[in-house]
Chains A and B, each alone.
Chain A
Amino acid sequence: MNIDADVINRIGSQLMLRAAQALKKEEFSQEEFSSVCSFLLDNLERCKTQEDIISFLTGLSDKWPLFSDYLAVERGKIVEKQEDVTVKRVEDLIHNNKLDEALKVAEGGATNNQ
């Protein structure tokens, strides 16, 4: 699923705020903070899909584990969105009397979300 610039900006702002707080609490040195900033600048805007975002956040969390909570939250949001989309599709199919297809989509969605 493609993402728009607002999502990038939201994630960028939240990550920067988290990083600045970490710097404040001395969880990061200035050098680490600088590396995080470079990482965000180099990679975040390249994300075009939600999968890219998850991959970016995974890379970020691997390097700096204090962002792993953020990865979990973001992953949850994506799953939630995917569920919403699946539910909407199933509803549409049911509405159009395509019950078999609706069942398949629902099963696929459930599998994807497991």
Chain B
Amino acid sequence: MAAPPSPDLMQRALVGEAAIAANPKIAATDAYANAIITRVNETNWKQAAEMGKRPVTEPKNVNERIEEIGINRNPTTLKKDRQGAEKVRHDKATKASKESYKLLMNGYDKLTPIEKTAIEDKVISAAQKDPRLAIELFGSGSSDSIRREWARGKLKDPRYANELASVLEGIGDPSKALGNEVSMDEEKVEDAKLEMDNKKLDLDDIQRQIDFVDTQVKLFDRTGAPAAWGAKAKELKQLIDERPLNEGQLKLKQASLVTAKQDVADAEHERMMAFNVRDTTANPTARQDAINAAMAKLGPARTSEMTLTNEVSTLQEKINKIKELEDEESQAHANKTPLEAQKREKQLAFDKTKKDWERRQKGFEDAKALRESHEQDLVDSLEGAIGKAATAVTDQDAEALLTSLNAENEARKGEAATADEQAMWDGLNERWLGPVQYRGLFRKKPYRPLNRATIDTDYGALMTQGPQESMINLLVSRGYTRADAEGLLTNKAEGSLYNKMEPEVVKRLLANRMLSGGISQEEVRTIVFSKWGRGMIEESIKLRAEVFENDEKLKAVGALGGPGFWDRLATEAGRSPWWLMLLLGAIGTFATPLGPLGVAAGGGAALGGMSRRAASPRFATDLAA
């Protein structure tokens, strides 16, 4: 196994990555300054200052986030070695980041037609998820050209660059760094693996010893028929079986050996004696003859002695072998016991390290999966930044509208002639707003989001039962009992609480519904053909004639009350619920989340973007006034 890389090398690799990410900083600042200069020269100082007010997220931060993608490293250099899905994520994030910064630095107008189309697609794609824009932009009356015109309006909106910068700033936020925890986890897995492998070697060593002992024990195995016994068990059995015969023979052979030894000794003695024989005249070879005779006896005697010695030895060995084998068998069994104990110990140690490794491995896999999902989130955020910034501009418009509605509520509250009216206005101010929240990364701005739950409840009641139920809910929200509220709203005569407040409640409820979820075409028809809806439209058109003087849509629908008027109006309003809001007097004539819906702009041009006035901070107060 390769040696683990040194921590120093890892440190150097990490520093290197940070440096790579930091490099684009200078070039980006330069481009940013140039973009500001261009904006001063081509538009005016205010737009340039608006752009510069929010510092562009240092691409360094976003680049750092992008460079964090991937955990696979070259084992030698430890540099990131992105392959497969990691490479795809890195490439996508880089492409999306470059696209966003190009738009931010150069502005929409400086992009190529292909780039413009791609960016418009992103804005449109984000809008598709926005219920506030659903019908106007994606309903049957809309078209690709209307959507693109609307998208261009958003992209050229003076606020757009700030929003995009803000989105990128959020993505580059150092507190969202992906970090190197996964690499650390991987190192821990590797350490745990080394530890486990080490314990495995110990265990294997013991196992080898046990296997050896087992082989020995197996030789003495007496399981089944003797023919199937281990070799040594069979041998031992045979030796034991033969022991009486062998012992008997041994005694005989030992006795014979004694005799044979005596024969050898006698023959030796005779041979020695033969050397003393003297030759005589009568027998000149007497000495040699005596020697030869002695030798003739000595040879066979020695052979006999040797044979008997061997036979005794063999028999003795066979008898002794029994003891040896018995000792060997008991030693084999004796050896196995401590080895088994050691094995249990080593097995335990190995199991522990294995479990640790598996736990770390699982943890690493989980961390890797989580990391991959975080990396994907980063890619998605970068790919969605352009659309998200457009949605943020839409949010600003929606918020301006909401502010204007609330400001109007506040102003109108003063007109309340009775405590019940006052309570109703207070309810209008409170019931459809949630608790205070804060937005913005650094300069946190308090705001009150819409309370979808209460809006949905009251809107549902409006659609199915008419305005009274919503009005009761408002009073109940101000501490009235339901019975009291119902009692108060029974009188519907001219000048009654019901009569005065019904249109106010309906207008605001519908506007809030548009801002929180939108109104379907079927619901538009319900409103247009309801007594209360129709009454409000008639009154609004009559009382605000100057507002509708140049309204092309209304002109196309025809004269108020003429043949087919309400049906045509319902169809037109179904295509543009924001226009219906205008007809109902639920909104002013300026801002909608769709852009300005002023009658002068009208139709497709109305989708072109936010008017300067609507974008102005003074807009809400102007409208309220």
Contacts and interface: CB of A to CB of B under 8 A. Distances in A.
Interface residues of A, number: 21
Contacts of A23: 29, 32-33, 36
B40 interface: yes
B101 to A, nearest CB: 14
B226 interface: no
A26 interface: yes
Given A16-B40, A23-B32, 6 more contacts: A16-B48, A16-B49, A20-B34, A24-B34, A37-B48, A37-B53
Contacts of A9: 44-45
A37 B40 contact: no
Contact of A37 (B33, B34, B52, B58): B52
Most buried by A among B46, B48, B49, B56: B49
Nearest to A13: B45
A36 B40 CA distance: 15
A24 B31 CA distance: 8
Interface in B14-46: 29-30, 32-34, 36-37, 40, 44-46
Contact of A40 (B32, B33, B49): B49
A41 B30 CA distance: 22
Interface in A12-50: 12-13, 15-17, 19-21, 23-24, 26, 30-31, 33-34, 36-38, 40-41
Contacts of B49: 12, 16, 37-38, 40-41
Contact of A12 (B32, B36, B46, B53): B46
A31 B33 CA distance: 13
Contacts of B32: 23, 30
Contacts of A41: 46, 49-50, 53
B55 A33 contact: yes
Interface of B: 29-30, 32-34, 36-37, 40, 44-46, 48-56, 58
A102 to B, nearest CB: 41
Interface in A53-106: none
Contacts of A24: 29-30, 33-34
Contacts of A13: 40, 44-45
Most buried by A among B36, B45, B51: B45
| Binding site secondary structure of chain A | helix
A20 B36 contact: yes
Contacts of A31: 55
A12 B52 contact: no
Given A9-B44, A41-B46, A16 B30 contact: no
Contacts of B56: 30
A89 B30 CA distance: 50
23 contacts: A12-B46, A12-B49, A13-B44, A13-B45, A15-B45, A17-B40, A19-B52, A20-B37, A20-B40, A20-B48, A21-B33, A24-B29, A30-B29, A30-B32, A30-B56, A31-B55, A34-B55, A37-B48, A37-B53, A38-B53, A40-B45, A41-B49, A41-B53
Most buried by A among B44, B50, B53: B53
A34 B44 contact: no
A15 B58 CA distance: 23
Nearest to A20: B36
Nearest to A32: B55
Given A33-B55, A34-B53, A26 B45 contact: no
A21 B44 CA distance: 16
Most buried by B among A9, A19, A21: A19
Contacts of B58: 30
